[in-house]
Amino acid sequence: MCRVLAYLGEPLPVRNLLFDPDNSLVRQSYSPRMMNTFLNLAGFGMLAWDPTSLEPADPFTYRTTTLPSYDRNLRYLASKLAPTCLVAHVRGVTYSDEAVVTDTNLHPFQFPGARVVLAHNGHLRQFSRMRFALVEHVRPELARGIEGTTDSEWIYALILSQLDDPFGVPETSELAEATTNALRILRSVRAAHGIDTSSPANLCLSTGRAVVFTRFSFDYGWYPPEDEMLETDLPFVSLWYAIGGEYTRRNGDWSMTAGDPPRSLIIASEPLTTDHSTWLEVPEYTLLTAELTPAGLEFDTRDLDV
Amino acid sequence: MRKIVEFLGTAPFLEGGAEADLVELAQVMRRRTVREGEILWRQGDEAREMLFIAEGGVSVSLHLPGDRVVQMATVDPGEIVGEIALLDGGPNTMSVEATEATTVLALGRADFAALLARPHPWSFALKRRLASLVTSRLRSHLLYLAGSLGDEIGGSPAEEVARTFAELEYCSPPNSKYIQRLATFNAFDPVALWGFLTSGRYARCPSGRTLIAEGAPSTACYLTINGAVEKVLIRGDRRIRVGLAGPGKAFGYESLIDGRPSPVTAITRERALLLVLPRDPFEQLFNGEDAISRVFLDVIQRDVVATLRQTLRPLARQASARPVSPAPPAAPLQPATGAG
Question: What is the DSSP annotation of chain A?
Answer: --EEEEEESS---THHHHTSSTT-HHHHHH--SS-SS----S-EEEEEE-TTSSSTTSPEEEEESS-GGG-HHHHHHHHH---SEEEEEE----SSTT---SGGGPSSB--TT-S-EEEEEE--TTHHHHGGGGGGGS-HHHHTT--SS-HHHHHHHHHHHTSSSTTS---HHHHHHHHHHHHHHHHHHHHHTT--S-EEEEEEEE-SSEEEEEE-EETTT---TT-TTHHHHHHHS--EEEEES-EEEETTEEEEPP-SS--EEEEESS-SSS--TT-EEPPSSEEEEEEEETTEEEEEEEE---
What predicted TM-score, i.e. pTM, was given to this entire model? 0.87
Of the given ranges (A264-268, B54-58, B189-193), which has the lowest mean pLDDT? B189-193
**Residues A24, A3: contact at Cβ < 8 Å?**
no
Residues of B in contact with A259 (CB under 8 A): 66
Beta-carbon separation of B177 and A283 below 8 A: no
Interface check for A241 against chain B (CB to CB < 8 A): the answer is no
Beta-carbon separation of A243 and B174 below 8 A: no
What are the pLDDT digits (tens) for B50-83? 999 999 999 999 887 767 788 888 999 999 999 9
> Average of pLDDT values for B3-24?
92
Nearest chain B residue to A256 by CA distance is B66
**DSSP code per residue over B278-296:** EHHHHHHHHH--SHHHHHH
Interface of A with B in 215-234 (CB under 8 A): 219-227, 230-231, 234
Q: How far is A171 from chain B (nearest CA, A)?
A: 27
Radius of gyration of chain B (CA): 20
Q: What are φ and ψ of residue B282, in 5° steps?
A: -60, -45
B interface mutation test: which of A222, A237, A246 has the most B CBs within 10 A? Answer: A222
pLDDT band at B156 (very low <50, low <70, confident <90, very high): low
| Measured distance CA(A298)–CA(A302) in Å, rounded | 14
> Average of pLDDT values for A69-88?
96
- Helix spans in chain B (H): 2-10, 19-28, 83-88, 109-117, 121-149, 158-167, 176-181, 190-197, 254-258, 279-287, 291-319
Most confident region among B125-139, B185-199, B302-316 by mean pLDDT: B125-139
- Closest in B224, B241, B316 to A280, CB measured: B316
pLDDT at B173 over 50: yes
Which helix (DSSP H) or strand (DSSP E) does residue B170 occupy? strand B169-171
**Residues A218, A187: contact at Cβ < 8 Å?**
yes
Q: What is the dihedral of CA B295, B297, B298, B301, to 10 degrees?
A: 160
- pLDDT mean across residues, chain A: 92
Beta-carbon separation of A221 and B224 below 8 A: yes
pLDDT of residue B141: 84
| Measured distance CA(A262)–CA(A260) in Å, rounded | 5
| Measured distance CA(A265)–CA(A140) in Å, rounded | 35
pLDDT band at B327 (very low <50, low <70, confident <90, very high): very low
What are the pLDDT digits (tens) for A137-173? 999 999 999 999 999 999 999 999 999 999 999 999 9
pLDDT of residue A33: 76
pLDDT of residue B240: 83
In whole angstroms, how far apart are CA B143 and each of B167, B310, B311? 31, 14, 11
Q: How far is B44 from chain A (nearest CA, A)?
A: 5
pLDDT of residue A231: 62
What are the pLDDT digits (tens) for A18-41? 999 999 999 888 877 776 667 788
Output helix, strand, coil percentages for chain B, rounded to the nearest 5: 40, 25, 35
Closest CA to B177 of A225, A198, A234: A225
pLDDT at B335 over 50: no
| Measured distance CA(B322)–CA(B319) in Å, rounded | 5
Contacts of B130 (CB under 8 A, 6+ apart): B83, B87, B116, B301
The helix/strand/coil state of B218 is: coil
Beta-carbon separation of A225 and B244 below 8 A: no
- pLDDT mean across residues, chain B: 86
Interface check for B178 against chain A (CB to CB < 8 A): the answer is yes
Beta-carbon separation of B272 and A280 below 8 A: no
Most confident region among A222-236, A274-288, B160-174 by mean pLDDT: B160-174
Of the given ranges (A290-294, B7-11, B158-162, B329-333), which has the lowest mean pLDDT? B329-333
| Beta strands B80-81 and B337-338, pairing class | parallel
The helix/strand/coil state of B57 is: coil
CA–chain centroid gap for B145, Å, is: 16
pLDDT of residue B209: 94
- Closest in A234, A243, A284 to B247, CB measured: A234
Q: How far is A233 from chain B (nearest CA, A)?
A: 11
pLDDT at B330 over 70: no
The helix/strand/coil state of B160 is: helix
pLDDT at A91 over 70: yes
Q: How far is A30 from chain B (nearest CA, A)?
A: 22
ipTM, two decimals, is: 0.86
| Measured distance CA(A212)–CA(A122) in Å, rounded | 16
Beta-carbon separation of B244 and A284 below 8 A: yes
pLDDT of residue A37: 65
pLDDT at A198 over 90: yes
Interface check for A113 against chain B (CB to CB < 8 A): the answer is no
| Measured distance CA(B95)–CA(A226) in Å, rounded | 43
Contacts of A216 (CB under 8 A, 6+ apart): A183, A200, A201, A202, A203, A284, A285, A286, A287, A304, A306
What are the pLDDT digits (tens) for B293-324? 988 999 999 999 999 988 876 443 433 333 33
Beta-carbon separation of A230 and B65 below 8 A: no
pLDDT at A291 over 90: yes
Q: Packing angle between helix B19-28 and helix B2-10, nearest 10 degrees?
A: 120
The helix/strand/coil state of B168 is: coil
pLDDT of residue B331: 32
Interface check for B43 against chain A (CB to CB < 8 A): the answer is yes
Closest CA to B221 of B242, B200, B248, B191: B200
What are the pLDDT digits (tens) for B259-297? 999 999 999 999 999 999 999 999 999 999 988 898 899
In whole angstroms, how far apart are CA A221 and each of A70, A149, A209, B251? 37, 26, 35, 15
pLDDT at A48 over 80: yes
More confident residue, B2 or A110: A110
Residues of B in contact with A304 (CB under 8 A): none
Q: How far is A272 from chain B (nearest CA, A)?
A: 14
pLDDT at B326 over 70: no
**Residues A289, A172: contact at Cβ < 8 Å?**
yes
- Closest in A220, A234, A260 to B270, CB measured: A220
Interface check for A280 against chain B (CB to CB < 8 A): the answer is yes
B interface mutation test: which of A251, A277, A279 has the most B CBs within 10 A? Answer: A277
Interface check for A300 against chain B (CB to CB < 8 A): the answer is no
